[in-house]
A and B are shown apart, each in its own frame.
Chain A
């Protein structure tokens, strides 16, 4: 197993281990996730639809 695949395997195990956290704790993580997602969306550059169409040509 390469370093990279070992890292991915470890990361997947860690993610799965979060399923066993108490439910209220997972809800608090979700609350934080939502705020982080909202913050990222606020910093996303606004692209006009017409510009998107031009870009896709």
Chain B
């Protein structure tokens, strides 16, 4: 994962992307116990967000450094990395407000717990709901934090459904 951090910082410094932040299960593990995950998901903000081939410069940058595609991802050391361009106000804000963590001496931007929970809420698979519950159990975020952020991004009804199903008897 250290190699992923080095690559992303270099990509940002070269101007290929404006910014990035790790999200998904690998980011969740900052707050919870370790979980099994297949890949590393990275939100990226790109300079020309209206072009059709958003990921071409990213893939070219990776290829020039010897990192090749692996299905829908780029293999970086032991991790297939999925690059996800920001696709909503929520994901843009998640990148803008991300923490800079230290990964074995390398700065690594990681989405904060509240945004991880609300992004999971917006996706809505069973494993996303499990992710929200794990974040709540870790006390890294409160139900009120999630509700407020969800409401700000048009996800209040999704939160209310989640709360009725999982948080109330």
Contact = CB atoms under 8 A, between A and B. Distances in A.
A7 interface: no
Q: Give the dominant DSSP class at A's interface.
A: helix
A50 B138 CA distance: 44
Interface residues of A, number: 15
Q: Give the dominant DSSP class at B's interface.
A: loop
A27 interface: yes
Interface in B102-152: 103-104, 138
B36 A33 contact: yes
A29 B104 contact: no
B103 A24 contact: yes
Interface residues of B, number: 20
B37 A23 contact: no
Contact of A23 (B38, B101, B138): B101
A41 B25 CA distance: 20
B33 A30 contact: no
A16 B137 CA distance: 10
A35 to B, nearest CB: 8
